[in-house]
Amino acid sequence: MVAEDFRSPRGNLPAMEASQTARVRAREAAGSADILAWVALGLGVLGGLALIVAEFSLIFQVDTLTSGTCQELADASVRDRCDASGLEQHSGALILLGLFAAAMAIGAGRGASLPAAAALIVVGAVVIAIAILIDLPKTRADGLLEPFYESGKAKPGTGFYLELVGAGLCLAAGSLAIFGTRRA
């Protein structure tokens, strides 16, 4: 009869066991939120690094339809239009955005800061806007070297793709930090 005094309102579970079960569930939830916070941190830092590397990589390059490279065939006055790095396209903006994203990832992942997570989403959106509005038209352009050289076609370089990957990682990190790591 003494054992019946310790029963929970649910009936057959003793109150101590119910309390332990609740603590275990809370620890498991906190553990999964902690893992997600680390994942958000990693994604954000990788996104920032991808943006920094993209700034030093080629955003677009012009391929020739004949034999020889654009640098060899183009007139000296237009050789600088044969390719463009991120620095030439953005004047270092992706370096600043990458450093900012890495700092915000630390705040969002380890500090559980919602404003830092929102900033990661904004960085991702800004970089996608830069990629679509500024870089994409140049990666699809024909005749970038006209009237000097007509048989050239631009194509995206590694930096263009790194720019998009970095933006996607920042968006994922910010979203995960906001929606995946909510603690009860």
Instruction: Determine the Cα–Cα distance for residues 24 and 72; give it in Å rounded to an integer.
Output: 69
- 116-136 residue pLDDT tens: 999 999 999 999 999 999 989
Which architecture does CATH list for 25-180? Up-down Bundle (1.20)
Q: To the nearest whole percent, how much of the chain has pLDDT over 90? A: 42
- Burial letters 24-58, b for 16+ CB under 10 A, else e: eeeeeeeeebeebbebbbebbbbbbbbbbbbbebb
Global pTM value: 0.74
Question: Does pLDDT of 22 surpass 50?
Answer: yes
First-last CA distance in the chain? 37
Q: So where are the chain's domains? A: 25-180
- 86-125 residue pLDDT tens: 888 889 999 999 999 999 999 998 888 899 999 999 999 9
